[in-house]
Amino acid sequence: MKSQNNRLKNSLTLIVLALIAVLLGYLRDSIFKTINALLRAWDLSQDFYLPNYLTFLENFEYNTLVNLKWALTLFFSILYLFLSIFAIKWLFNNKKQVNITIFTYLAIIFLSGLFISIGLLWHASSDKMYEFARYLMGMAQSPIILMLLIPAFKLAEKENMK
């Protein structure tokens, strides 16, 4: 009976983690698409009606919204980092794997910052550098890293058992 309760608890925890990841992704996508649409409307001198929960964005200036997107990028990356840490701790209970997860996120953020910096220094490559940095940060703001680390850690566990 205890084993069945543990399996049920584990299944429910996995479902809750998956739901949190999906809802977090939906919230992030909704906020960013709304900000982008508002900025585009301002660029084209058009009216844009914000969802009720984001009407406060109308009070910001254009550059403030652009900077807010940078802050939100970091914020959502950190949220996914914490979600990933919790999932890895829960699934593997191994400090080394938690450290690898943290290092992976920090490396992605560092590389993105490096690409942005290179783009700022060498203007000829700024569009390509920004695009690549944006792609990397997109991974950090999604469950993709977790979806790659879990099978990698499972495979490593199997290899260590041999």
Residue 126, CA distances (Å) to 43, 56, 144 in order: 22, 32, 26
Q: How many domains does the chain have?
A: 1
Q: How confident is the model at residue 1 (pLDDT cuts 50, 70, 90)?
A: low
C-alpha to C-alpha distance for 39 and 46, rounded to whole angstroms: 10
Q: Model confidence over 115-148: pLDDT tens digits?
A: 988 888 887 777 788 888 889 999 999 999 999 9
Q: Model confidence over 51-108: pLDDT tens digits?
A: 888 889 888 999 999 999 989 999 999 999 999 999 999 999 899 999 999 999 999 9
Contact call for residues 108 and 145 (beta carbons, < 8 A) = yes
User: When comparing pLDDT for 40 and 47, which is higher?
Assistant: 40
pTM: 0.86
- Domain containing 89 equals 2-161
Question: Which residues lie closer than 8 Å to 108 by C-beta, 6 or more apart?
Answer: 77, 136, 137, 139, 140, 145
pLDDT at 2 (0 to 100)? 60
